[in-house]
Amino acid sequence: MTQPSAYRAQPSRRQWLATALPLAGAGLAIALLPTATRAATPTPVEVWKDPNCGCCQDWVDHMQANGFAVKVHDTGNNAVRARLGLHQKLGSCHTALVGGYLIEGHVPASDVRKLLQQKPKALGLAVPGMPVGSPGMDGAVYGDRRDPYDVLLVAHDGSTRVFNSYNKKAST
């Protein structure tokens, strides 16, 4: 006796399980991979800097190497810093925006990540000036010197507190 064609086109339960289980296992294996192993979407950052500033470009490179997608405006940063409400005394050579926060100067990418995870009510982070040893102000060109500096959390009222401190001198 022949079976209707509609019945024959459907896979048997055994055939279905033989196909579905390996696929389900592959999905589970991907889900169990550590987050760092999976391709992450880069976090967008906008940066305003002087077009001729090498240390600013080095900071941009540092951010890109740490999973940020950086859009650069080579127009200087004084106007955007003023528009965003950051006091001149906290200024540096470049200003960035990420996740609704202002980032001023040579802030390490790890501190930007920490800020984005903690989500404090604040204007953002600042490393005033250009301390040697901070990202973009580091490396052989500076004799591998590391000066102490603080990353400041800047409140909307302009007050600051230390967010992270890099006060250890490198061993010689």
Q: Tabulate helix, strand, coil % of the chain (nearest 5).
A: 35, 25, 40
pLDDT digits (tens, 9 = 90+) for 147-159: 999 999 999 999 9
Residue 28 lies in a domain: no
Residue 171 lies in a domain: no
Residue 23 lies in a domain: no
pLDDT digits (tens, 9 = 90+) for 40-51: 799 999 999 999
Assign residue 48 the CATH number of its domain: 3.40.30.10
Of the pLDDT bands very low, low, confident and very high (cuts 50, 70, 90), residue 94 is very high
User: Which residues form the domain of 55?
Assistant: 44-166
Residue 36 lies in a domain: no
Residue 125 lies in a domain: yes
**Residues with Cβ < 8 Å from 137, sequence gap 6 or more?**
55, 58, 106, 130, 131
d(CA 25, CA 4): 34
What mean pLDDT do residues 116-121 have? 98
pLDDT digits (tens, 9 = 90+) for 126-170: 999 999 999 999 988 899 899 999 999 999 999 999 999 998 755
The total domain count for the chain is 1
pTM: 0.75
Residue 64 lies in a domain: yes
Of the pLDDT bands very low, low, confident and very high (cuts 50, 70, 90), residue 14 is low
Residue 80 lies in a domain: yes
